[in-house]
Amino acid sequence: MEHKEGKWATQILEARHEDGMWGVFHTLSCPVKGRPITTEQAIRRLHRLGYTIEDKVIKNVVERMVLCITDRQKIDNYFEKTHDWQLFEKLMLSAWIRIFEPQNPYALEVARGWADIVEKAFASGTYYREDDIEAFTQQHGRKPRSGFETGFGMFYHAVLLQGVLTPKTESMFFDYYLSKPDGMYYIYDKPLNQLPEEFSSKAASCYLAAMEVLAGYGAAKEKLSFVVEWLNNNKDENGQWDFGPKANDGVYFPLSDSWRKAEDRKRDCTERVNRFLKRLSI
């Protein structure tokens, strides 16, 4: 389905500032009515609605993100004192650049730096925190001091590291994400190897979002067979899926202009599931 000319994309594009951004970049929380949308919320939503690097609005944001990770221009004036904000920005922005332009050389450089740490953290055959800390310290000249600097548990790490790990490490890294007690930070906060209790729910939609990220790894087809089975078991008699009205969060849904009709909601849900299955070549 084509959603780029629909109601939701139009609203987002009309909220752009003159510089092509939406003000402050960072936050992956759900949009709140009456509160200005951030640039990160905007590009995530536009990506869901079918926008790519071929669209000028996305190309402009990617170019600005590249300027930031190469230390030529700040993305905004926002920062968090509890983090090494420059390091976090490079992680975050490089992940988003790779979503739209996977082979961008500047983002790949950042990805390979993190990949080196991951390779060493899993060198013993499993994730070992002390090896992670040592590898980070060697690369950055200091010990990690923020949560994102060890453990690779964020959405950003999972996106950034696709295609840059050795096959052996990727397999371990994938299993690590599936078994993490707190899931994928910013996306889903429960273990990914445990299916949601209810399919018709916002939780199930968020769970699928985490699986959509992991689908970018070569190991996905083999390791996500249980997710495919879960989806097939929740297909209705008409071959459609339905995450229910509560899945309307302004992030993953809706795609259609309105969900007043159940058939529009089901069409959106089915489109999304089919897109996921196609990525796994199923």
pLDDT by residue (tens digit) across 61-83? 999 999 999 999 999 999 988 88
Using alpha carbons, select from 279, 274, 282, 269 the residue that is nearest to residue 205: 269
How does residue 30 score in pLDDT terms, banded at 50, 70 and 90? confident
Q: Provide the pLDDT for residue 28.
A: 85
CB 7 within 8 A of CB 257: yes
Instruction: Quote the CA–CA distance of 193 and 147 in Å, as a whole number.
Output: 22
Name the average pLDDT for the chain. 96
DSSP per-residue codes, 1-47 = ---TTSHHHHHHHHT--TTSS-SS----SPP-TTSPPPHHHHHHHHH
Give the CA dihedral 93, 119, 220, 97, nearest 10 degrees: 10
C-beta contacts of 135-143 below 8 A and 24+ residues apart: 139/113, 140/87
Strand positions, DSSP E, the chain: none
Is the confidence at residue 1, as pLDDT, over 80? Answer: no
Least confident of 52-56, 78-82, 115-119: 78-82
Q: Are 124 and 131 in contact (CB under 8 A)?
A: yes
Cis status, amide bond into 102, omega within 30 of 0: no
How much helix, strand and coil, in percent to the nearest 5, is found in the chain? 50, 0, 45
Query: pLDDT tier at 282 (50, 70, 90 boundaries)?
Result: low
CA distance 47 to 51: 5
State the Cα–Cα distance between residues 253 and 39, nearest whole angstrom.
18
Spell out the SS3 assignment of 47-67: HHCCCCCCCHHHHHHHHHHHH
The string of pLDDT tens digits covering residues 162-184 is: 999 999 999 999 999 999 999 99
Distance CA 282, CA 268 (A): 19
- pLDDT tens-digit series, residues 208-248: 999 999 999 999 999 999 999 999 999 999 999 999 999 99
Both tokens of 101, joined, read 């332009």
- pTM of the shown model: 0.96
Exposed, middle or buried, 150 (CB in 10 Å: 0-12/13-18/19+)?
A: middle
Residue 10, Ramachandran bin (φ over 0: left; ψ between -120 and 50: alpha; else beta): alpha
Section 10-38 average pLDDT: 91
Question: Would you state the pLDDT for residue 111?
Answer: 98
* Predicted confidence (pLDDT) per residue in 127-175, tens digit: 999 999 999 999 999 999 999 999 999 999 999 999 999 999 999 999 9
Chain centre to alpha carbon of residue 276: 14
Bridge-partner residues for 188, per DSSP? 184
